[in-house]
Structure 1
Amino acid sequence: MTADLVGPVRLGEPHVVVARQVRRVGRVATNLTSVYGPDGALVGTSSAEWTALRP
């Protein structure tokens, strides 16, 4: 899992979180997430690889 904060998070303000699965190979899935601030500017991004314990 990695994350990068590229802008300020404004406490008490609404933010939008967008996530999607970009790849799945067998039991391993790669997911990307972005967070946008109240003005629509990118606040942060992350990516993660998850492995399912059961198929």
Structure 2
Amino acid sequence: MDPIQAAIDQIESREPGESFSYTEIAARYGVNRSTLSRRYRGVTVSRATVLNNQ
């Protein structure tokens, strides 16, 4: 599994209203904090997704 997707899955598995830190989760999975935040919020998508949609 893609490390960013694994990090997003962990964020989504939390209870509603439970706080989390992008920085801590990004460090745990070895991904960039900004990229994780943008992907989770739906601001950006992976390059593979873009290529598949063409």
TM-score norm. by structure 2 comes to: 0.25
Structure with greater helix share of residues:
2
Structure with greater strand share of residues:
1
Higher relative contact order (CA 8 A, sep 6+): 1
TM-score norm. by structure 1 comes to: 0.24
